Amino acid sequence: MSWRLRLTMLLVLVYFLAELFGGWWTGSLALLADAGHMFSDLAALSISLFAAWLRRRPPAGQRTFGYHRVEVLAALANGALLLLVGGGILQEAWHRMHSPEEVLAGPMLVIAIGGLIVNLLSLAVLHGGHNHDLNMRGAWLHVMGDTLGSVAVIIAAALVWFWNWTLADPIASAVVCGFVVFSAWNLVRETLDILMESAPKDIPVDEVRSVLLSLPNVQSVHCLHVWTIASGMKSISAHIVLDPANMTDTSLEEIHRTLAEHFPAQHLTLQLESSDFALCDNEAGCVIDQHTPHHAVEHHHHS
């Protein structure tokens, strides 16, 4: 799939530069806003490629999860930058609504139509893989949003050219910036959720607890944690107290299989404890006492 992303990146990069120059040349704020939206596409595609490359690098040394979190940090920086750019363009749009400026509508229309063609080509390139790969789907959605932005700029250029309605340019730029700010805010919120170790939406903590407690021989569950390491890397860890009279060698396997059937988690770390011996029995935090004899912690089972 990486060739699709690379080709789309090339198309987007070329027309990002064209719209950036065109916006400066024609005086069109809408073109500059659409260039900003294309920049967001370019950043998203770069992050997707970067993530695909990082996944191939094995963990090493102290980085036991490898470099997957770099993707999250890059996405956060991208989102924050887009919020700043979008805010600046919205401020300029507000100013131009009160003091309209002359716009070269003819070149603006030609450049906007070219942008629409590039976006349609990009959608065609990405179409073959966006249903099967999350990164590709995200890239496809970004380009789809930019396609709608190009349509808004075309409409604004036509209104300026045929009816000399100069307000159409700042209004269109505000509409395009709305797409940018909305996408950027969602990106920032999602990355902050990951960095704050929040549980992913598709793995509700209460449901995980209910599924575990529904299993035979499970008496209680504590120290339950659900979090996301990076895209496609969701984790569940828990201490599970079992009835010692019915603990078997297959207990852990059964719990693993049940969680895998119910939740899209790629990493499961489960500690089985007997009700006769448990390190802790609350959610305040299962911290091992540094003075605990070594033999007391050898009862743990990890997977």
Question: How many percent of the chain have pLDDT more than 90?
Answer: 34
Task: Using alpha carbons, select from 102, 135, 125 the residue that is nearest to residue 26.
Answer: 102
297 band by pLDDT with thresholds 50, 70 and 90: very low
What confidence score (pLDDT) does residue 74 get? 79
Residue that the structure tokens 């033999």 belong to:
295
Q: Is 297 helix (H, G, I), strand (E, B) or coil?
A: helix
Average pLDDT, the chain: 82
Q: What is the pTM of this model?
A: 0.74
Distances (CA, A) of 87 to 81, 92, 148, 159, 192: 10, 9, 20, 25, 20
Q: How many Cα atoms occupy the beta-carbon half-sphere of 21 within 13 Å?
A: 6
- DSSP for 69-106? HHHHHHHHHHHHHHHHHHHHHHHHHHHHHHS-----HH
Domain boundaries, the chain: 2-195, 205-297
Find the mean pLDDT for residues 278-296: 54
pLDDT at position 296 over 90: no
**The pLDDT of residue 226 is above 50:** yes
The CATH H-level superfamily of 205-297 is Cation efflux protein, cytoplasmic domain (3.30.70.1350)
Mean pLDDT is lowest, of 31-45, 192-206, 270-284, for 270-284
Nearest CA-CA partner of 149 in 132, 166, 173, 185: 173
Average pLDDT over every residue of 188-203: 92
Which is more confidently placed, 5 or 95?
95
pLDDT in tens, 71-112: 788 788 878 888 888 888 888 889 888 888 888 999 999 999
Average pLDDT of the segment spanning 2-29: 87
User: Mean pLDDT: which of 54-63, 108-117, 183-192, 270-279 is highest?
Assistant: 108-117
Using a pLDDT cut of 70, give the percent of the chain over it.
85
Confidence of residue 132 (pLDDT cuts 50, 70, 90): very low
Q: What is the CA radius of gyration of the chain?
A: 26
**pLDDT of the residue at 2:** 67
Mean pLDDT along residues 15-36: 90
DSSP string, 187-256: HHHHHHHHHTTPPPTTS-HHHHHHHHHTSTTEEEEEEEEEEEEETTEEEEEEEEEE-GGG--TTHHHHHH
CATH label, 2-195, candidates 1.10.10.10, 3.40.109.10, 1.20.1510.10, 3.20.20.70: 1.20.1510.10
> Is the predicted pLDDT of residue 302 greater than 60, yes or no?
no
Q: How distant, in Å, are the alpha carbons of 97, 101, 198, 229, 239 from that of 283? A: 55, 61, 16, 22, 10
